[in-house]
Amino acid sequence: MLASILVKPGVLELQEIDRPHPGPDEVVIKIKSALTCGTDLKAFRRGHRLMPMPTVFGHEFAGEIVEKGDKVDLFYPGAAVMSVHTAPCGKCVYCRRRLENLCPHMMDSKILGAYAEYILIPAVIVKNNMFPKPANLSFREAAMLEPLACVVYGINQIRVKSTDTAVVIGAGAIGLLHVLVLKSMGIKRVIVSGHRDYRLKLAEQIGADLVVNSAATDAVEVIKDATDGLGAPLVFECTGQPSVWEESVEMVSRGGHVILFGGCPGGSKVTYDADRLHYDQITLKGVFHFTPSAVKQAYNLLVEKHLDVSPLITADRRLKDISAVFQDLMTQDCIKYAILPESA
């Protein structure tokens, strides 16, 4: 089968590799759509500790089952399915505390290789985190399950009120998914701060009430002016830049919450005003990955059409053009590309 191999940072190769075959509790999916991802772009640019190279590549996908193990009885060949790429063990101390996203065995089940014609789904994912794709949902939209589950998990970590104002810092795919989820929850006002006009215009199109070009103006001052000098009770940091982590605290109101979604480079250090954190009772919370319940919630949001993720998919691209796709991700106005192996 044809698969994209990340040989080293900056180098992608299409190679013919053996098609996988399932074990008793596994399935093999024919990829119908795979989405590009910010994490994949980071790995392409500088490598990633969870992706030792050379490696198959890509982890957001949806497709059709072509082969199943003898013990799989909930899914059958020909079934359209959508899945995430990990699942927790369900037995460790973190799983028992309902912190399955911190399961130390989570990455043991991790699957990569969505930029390919076929992918093998391990038993623990088949059992916990794979779902039937309804006919009213396209494969392109279904492939959004994994990033949406991450966003849902992060938002679920705080109490969100419909009367709140929320600030989303960063207008990439993750920031825009935050806008969609928050607006689906009935949030009164969502403000998006970013520095690319193309993305900010898209944020407005999908429901942002105010956008701020941080490259052209002081975003902190604009947000304070828009909130009567108070700041917003909810701030979602979606860039993974240490300087923006620090700036996020300047945008939050007293008693407010800052969700630190964007992961900074390893070893990064940030500095905060301890007086502000203490006396203004600011809560900072890092969030990572997702839990099975967040995956199921994201699945329901997609299949029940509570939000429309299609505007976040800039265009369809062919698997054979994968190297050009990643160059475009670095240089063009785009959010996500849908990689379609059948167009290879």
Say yes or no: 125 and 24 in one domain: yes
- Which residue carries 């928050």 as its tokens? 182
Task: State residue 80's pLDDT score.
Answer: 98
Q: List, as one string, the DSSP characters of 187-241.
A: -SEEEEEES-HHHHHHHHHTT-SEEEETTTS-HHHHHHHHTTTS-EEEEEE-S--
For residue 267, is it within any domain?
yes
Say yes or no: 252 and 296 in one domain: no
Task: State residue 265's pLDDT score.
Answer: 86
Task: State residue 238's pLDDT score.
Answer: 97
What is the rounded CA–CA span in Å between residue 96 and residue 232? 34
Return the structure tokens found at 27: 């399935």
For residue 199, is it within any domain?
yes
CATH of the domain at 184: 3.40.50.720
Q: Which of 253, 268, 286 is the last residue of a domain?
A: 286
Whether residue 184 contacts residue 154, with contact meaning beta carbons closer than 8 Å, is answered with no
Residue 109 is given by DSSP the state G
Say yes or no: 220 and 271 in one domain: yes
Whether residue 302 contacts residue 137, with contact meaning beta carbons closer than 8 Å, is answered with yes
Beta-bridge mates of residue 65: 29
Q: Which of 271, 286, 301 is the last residue of a domain?
A: 286
For residue 151, is it within any domain?
no
For residue 152, is it within any domain?
no
What is the rounded CA–CA span in Å between residue 130 and residue 296? 9
Instruction: List the one residue out of 184, 51, 196, 25 whose CA is nearest residue 111.
Output: 51
Q: Which of 247, 270, 286 is the last residue of a domain?
A: 286
Q: Write b or e for each residue in 129-148: b if 16 or more Cβ atoms lie within 10 A of its Cβ, otherwise e.
A: bbbebeeebbbbbbbbbbbb
Say yes or no: 26 and 69 in one domain: yes
Say yes or no: 206 and 228 in one domain: yes
Residue 101 is given by DSSP the state G
Return the structure tokens found at 235: 């701030």
Say yes or no: 85 and 213 in one domain: no
- Which residue carries 């009367």 as its tokens? 163
Say yes or no: 200 and 279 in one domain: yes
What is the rounded CA–CA span in Å between residue 4 and residue 12? 7
For residue 91, is it within any domain?
yes
For residue 8, is it within any domain?
yes
Say yes or no: 319 and 189 in one domain: no
pLDDT per residue of the chain (344 residues) written in tens, 0 to 9: 999 999 999 999 999 999 999 999 999 999 999 999 998 998 899 888 778 889 999 999 999 999 999 999 999 999 999 999 999 999 999 999 999 999 999 988 899 999 999 999 999 999 999 999 999 999 999 999 999 999 999 999 999 999 999 999 999 999 999 999 999 999 989 999 999 999 999 999 999 999 999 999 999 999 999 999 999 999 999 999 999 999 999 999 999 999 999 998 889 999 999 999 999 999 999 999 999 999 999 999 999 999 999 999 999 999 999 999 999 999 889 999 999 997 54
Say yes or no: 6 and 114 in one domain: yes
> Could you give the number of structural domains in the chain?
2
Say yes or no: 246 and 309 in one domain: no
Task: State residue 343's pLDDT score.
Answer: 52
Say yes or no: 294 and 280 in one domain: no
Return the structure tokens found at 122: 């391990």
Q: Which amino acid is at 215?
A: A
Say yes or no: 113 and 43 in one domain: yes
For residue 225, is it within any domain?
yes
Supply the range of the domain harboring residue 175. 158-286
CATH of the domain at 109: 3.90.180.10
- Model-level pTM? 0.96
For residue 153, is it within any domain?
no
